[in-house]
Amino acid sequence: MPDTTNSLAEAPSIASSPDDAVPVIDISDFLAGKSGALAATAAELQHAQENVGFYVLTGHSVNQALIDGVFEQTARFHAQPLDQKLALKANQDNVGYMPVKGSITKATPVAGVKPQPNLVEAFFMKRDLALDHPDVVAGKRFRPANQWPDPAALPEFRPTTTAYMDAVEALGKSLLPLYATALDLAADWFEVAFREPQYVLRCSHYPPHEPAPGQFGIAPHTDSSFMTLLPQSGLPGLAVLSQSGQWIEPPVIDGSFVVNSGEMMKRWTNERFLATPHRVINRTPNADRYAAPFFFDCTLDHPMECIPTCTDAGNPPKYGTTSYAEYMAWFYDRNYAHAKKETST
């Protein structure tokens, strides 16, 4: 990993080489089933995953009005009085509200970053399970019922966000044959692992603030997920650490998603696919920045052991077998436990 100590607060630069730039991948031909599109698009994906860890996704089928609606509902939620938001305080399954400075990036630290509270507030949702669902009744971790704001105050919040989660889950599942092909696997290899994906939608608000050394909306980190899908909002703030050590911004394309892999993908592929550090700084004066990242993962208890095409006699597995439930128990307790202690005293 490059030494980023002296460049953490600098504005992102323009990439100096193609391998430093965040590539753009159009999946419209693949989704249309055109001949040769699976192999060609998977080759683009393979290059992005092995050299950058991020790409900008275009040509998808998620309705723009639904994306716009999620941003609108995110702004409406965070415009509520703080006491109304705190009434939905995030619980042990991390569904609900996390206030500004409610998280510290500890689980995936980056060289040169001293962990401190992030300048972001967020509302977390998972699959909308009914109160009488067996996993909810049994109290199974990471399979809770969601907390929801008062429908009298925010009548469109729940229907908009649940419709959006359904749409982006479908998008994530549609990409799985590309990932399998990029890993030299059969196109349907991930079907069993993603029979009922785990996912999290985080509706985030980055309030304006005066820049300060070492202070971030979200400090440099890698995601925990198999795949993160982030709709572009129009306001800059996200920067990606290239393999040469430059902070670069993804190209802004209306209607696109910025997609990256996280630690689960890195572990599962034996580090063949990257989990790339990135950060968020709200650099726009007097402007509120909103984001709606969708963290997409495999079924709760599926055993993720090293993918067979990612290991051989000269490259043994670097990680033991784990599941989403096991990894996320560690991740959440590292990043959010301090906030729960503070709010319970």
Q: What is the pLDDT of residues 54-110, one digit of tens each?
A: 999 999 999 999 999 999 999 999 999 999 999 999 998 889 999 998 887 665 556
Q: C-alpha distances in angstroms, 198 versus 166, 204, 243?
A: 12, 19, 29
Q: How confident is the model at residue 51 (pLDDT cuts 50, 70, 90)?
A: very high
Mean pLDDT of 158-162: 98
pLDDT value at residue 341: 47
pLDDT at 276: 96
pLDDT tens digits for range 206-232: 998 766 677 788 888 899 999 999 999
Mean pLDDT value across residues 196-202: 98
Please determine, for residue 272, whether its predicted confidence score (pLDDT) is greater than 70: yes
pLDDT at 224: 92
Spatial separation of the C-alpha atoms in residues 24 and 257, rounded to whole Å: 10
pLDDT top residue among 138 and 110: 138
Summarised one tens digit per residue, pLDDT across range 286-299 is 899 999 999 999 99
pLDDT (0 to 100) of residue 279: 93
Q: Which band of pLDDT confidence, cut at 50, 70 and 90, is reported for residue 339?
A: very low
Strands (E) across the chain are located at: 24-26, 54-58, 96-98, 121-125, 198-206, 218-221, 227-231, 238-241, 247-248, 257-260, 278-280, 289-291, 294-297
Q: Which two tokens stand for residue 338?
A: 């301090």
Cβ contact 146:125 at 8 Å? yes
Handedness of CA 169, 234, 261, 48 (dihedral sign): positive
pLDDT for res 333? 75
Residue 29 and residue 14: Cα distance in Å, rounded?
Answer: 29
Q: What is the pLDDT of residue 2?
A: 42
pLDDT over threshold 80, residue 334: no
pLDDT band at 19; cut points 50, 70, 90: low
Cα separation, 195 vs 302, in Å, equals: 10
103/15: higher pLDDT: 103
In this prediction, residue 114 carries a pLDDT of 67
**Mean pLDDT calculated for residue range 331-340:** 61
Predicted pLDDT at 27: 98
The model's confidence at residue 116, banded by pLDDT at 50, 70 and 90, is confident
pLDDT score for 6: 37
The answer to which of 121-135, 145-159, 174-188, 197-211 has the lowest mean pLDDT is 197-211
What's the rounded Cα separation, in Å, for the pair 289 and 208?
8
Cα angle at 197 between 253 and 190, to 5 degrees? 85
Question: Is the backbone of residue 210 left (phi > 0), alpha (psi -120 to 50) or beta?
Answer: beta
Q: What is the pLDDT of residue 265?
A: 97
For residue 36, pLDDT over 70 is answered with: yes
Q: Does pLDDT of 15 surpass 60?
A: no
> What is the average pLDDT value for the chain, to the nearest integer?
90
Q: What is the pLDDT of residue 7?
A: 47
∠168-138-158 over CA atoms, to 5°? 35
Task: Set out the domains of the chain in order of their start, with CATH numbers.
Answer: 5-343 (2.60.120.330)
pLDDT score for 235 = 86
Whole-number Å distance between alpha carbons of 121 and 78: 8
Lateral strand order in the sheet of 238-241: 218-221, 278-280, 238-241, 247-248
Residue 319 three-state SS: coil
pLDDT at 175 over 90: yes
Q: Across residues 119-125, what is the average pLDDT?
A: 96
